[in-house]
Chains A and B, each alone.
Chain A
Amino acid sequence: MTVSTATALTGSDLKRRLRRAEWRGRLRAIALVVPLLLFLIFFFIVPIARMMWLSVDNSELPSTLPRFAEEIQQWDPTETPLPDESVLALFAEELRAAAEARDLAGVARRLNTEVPGFRTTIMGTARRLPDSPEGSWSETLIGINEDWAEAETWLLLRRASTTVTPYYLLASMDLRMGAEGGVEAAPRDQAIYRDIFARTFTIAVGVTLLCLLLGYPLAYKLANLPARISNLLLILVLLPFWTSLLVRTTSWIVLLQREGPINQALQGAGMIQDPLQLIYNRFGVYVAMTHILLPFMVLPLYSVMRGINPALPRAATGLGAHPFTAFRRVYLPLTTPGIGAGCLLVFILSIGYYITPALVGGANDQMVSWFIAFFTNQTVNWGMASALGSLLLVAVLIIYWLYIRLVGVERMRLG
């Protein structure tokens, strides 16, 4: 570096160079993160965002029968019992075209989710539609299937003709659109989702509390042992953490079954006559889930307790506090970050559990996840699956946000 450039590096010039160097550093940091960010956006965020979109998406009918979908919006069922003849003609024309192009599956699936069995109605009608009407189109359609005489049927088609619908989200909160517009409670026999959400929430809270109840004394013991012993015992906590979820679930099925070791032992000891029903009920779900999630509670508690100065509670007792008071007023408040971290983590994980309740729970112990899987794979009602998924996701994201605010994402540690 020559003397002339060194003297030129004054004031604004220096500032500019510094700013440029900082920009370069920032770009380099961003360039390192970008590959993962793009990867996750494409293969993780976009799929989930699309799923959330599916919960309001209603484009099956408008994309297959576009002109009919537009025209039927004009129909007012209070004035005429059926849509106008011109609308029906459009319906017949577009339905036939779609059937010939073999493009009706999406529409049939969409309508079938709301009125079970409607798939056959619309498929059968499309197959038997003549090129020109016999008499009027309304007579022709009713001749093929009586259902077309009902205003209800056309109302169903009208509901399916908007590109977005609140139908699934409302249904997953036990609500529905009233016939005159407005929102009303769903009929009692269909109103199951609030119960399911309440059940999911209850199980998640219960498992979190059980984990705290068992995890706190354990973490306390671990944190107050000499490091050599506690590291060894920590492996006992980490072993279940590292063991396959399915292995642990299997072992609980083996343990809790009617002829399993627990029932064998209890009968052998003469404590019970008949084997107890320990599995395929709520008890089994609580036991297995608590066992599986306990390490997630112990680890954050342990790392917080390790950092507490043991002189503090001792000082409190030295100043005359009862050991219990010293624990409650000094030690417990110091562990709240660990309690918060452990509880939020266990709650977040348990609220979305699927495998364990599906294998050790009974019909009345299934959580929201089970219904998402059911609607996705069994009934192919993707709108309903997405709506339940979206609500669950919102709940989880709120707790995650709380976790980041209260605990801080950098504090998340593994083992």
Chain B
Amino acid sequence: MALPSYASPLERTWYYSYRVICGLIFFFLVAPILVMIPLSFNAQPYFSYTTEMLTLQPEGYSLRWYEEFFNSSAWVTSIRNSVIIAFASTFLATCLGTLAALGLSRSHMPFRGLIMGLLISPMIVPLIISAAGMFFFYSQIGLAQTFPGVILAHTALGTPFVVITVTATLTGFDHTLTRASASLGAPPQTTFFKVILPLITPGVISGALFAFITSFDEVVIVLFVAGVEQRTIPREMWSGIREQISPTILAVATILVLISIALLTVLELLRRRNERMRGLSPS
């Protein structure tokens, strides 16, 4: 979309102003996340840039909020809870979702559209409705305010992502490969582990990452279904923002941003590997 040399002044103006507009939108997307990171190193208990910070004096900056975070038993417990819940629900969601996606991609599957619609619905139904419904029901069957309750609820939320990503990987899947494997005498489980799984691994991993971040970031269900014992990082942030807002929150937020960047990098590398394996140029 380079500007041709014969472009009229009007076209030139439009071309450059369009670039500026897009730059501003990118700025709008990214700046809010970045602006808060330096503030988490604020030496003062404020949410605004102090003069020392703006003039880049070292005494304007400190790690006190990170220290506070790692020394607070509530925050440390919440990290432990978040990790337990996210890993357990990711594991369950990935197993259930991958199996379902394999079934859905078979040509024999009846009512595919209807079932797919049903399996995706946890992503579509407003969280507050899922949360309220689960709260009423899980209280009755004794799952409310327990780890299994929160894990099962997060599993339900995470499965659509796994189903979607694995199904997408399977659309380009060459089914003659499984037939070839079977005709060479491999039993179905060998075919699955030696042929199918290596090929769909990128989809499975990216689905698992989505399921992980969904659980790791989720707060509405935790608000309703979890008890004091199961408080997660987002749950602590929620009460932190509402009750005693302190820059510790910004330290937590910065750590979470770094985690997202790490996950995003893994996902991007997977995408490139996937494109290479399909014979597309990785460019």
Contact = CB atoms under 8 A, between A and B. Distances in A.
B100 A392 contact: no
B134 A415 contact: no
A377 B116 CA distance: 33
A354 B220 contact: yes
A218 B32 contact: no
**Size category, B interface:** 35 or more
Contacts of B70: none
A37 interface: yes
Contacts of A377: 224
B106 A218 contact: no
B280 to A, nearest CB: 10
Nearest to B167: A410
Given A43-B155, A261-B35, A50 B28 contact: no
B261 A239 contact: yes
A51 interface: yes
B130 A224 contact: no
B88 interface: no
B130 A48 contact: yes
Contact of B109 (A33, A250, A373): A33
Given A243-B260, A413-B164, A236 B30 contact: yes
A30 B253 contact: no
A339 interface: no
Contacts of A25: 106-108
B21 A217 contact: yes
Interface in B123-137: 124-130, 132-137
- Nearest 8 interchain pairs by C-beta: A352-B126, A32-B103, A47-B137, A51-B133, A47-B133, A25-B108, A33-B103, A36-B100
16 contacts: A28-B108, A40-B159, A44-B122, A50-B136, A217-B21, A233-B26, A239-B33, A242-B260, A243-B257, A250-B253, A373-B132, A373-B224, A389-B128, A404-B117, A409-B120, A414-B164
Interface of B: 1, 11, 18-19, 21-22, 25-26, 28-30, 32-33, 35-36, 39, 46-49, 96-97, 99-100, 102-104, 106-110, 113, 115-122, 124-130, 132-138, 152-153, 155-156, 159, 161, 163-165, 167-168, 171, 206, 210, 213, 216-217, 219-220, 223-224, 234, 237-238, 241-242, 245, 249-250, 253, 256-257, 260-261, 263-264, 267-268, 281, 283
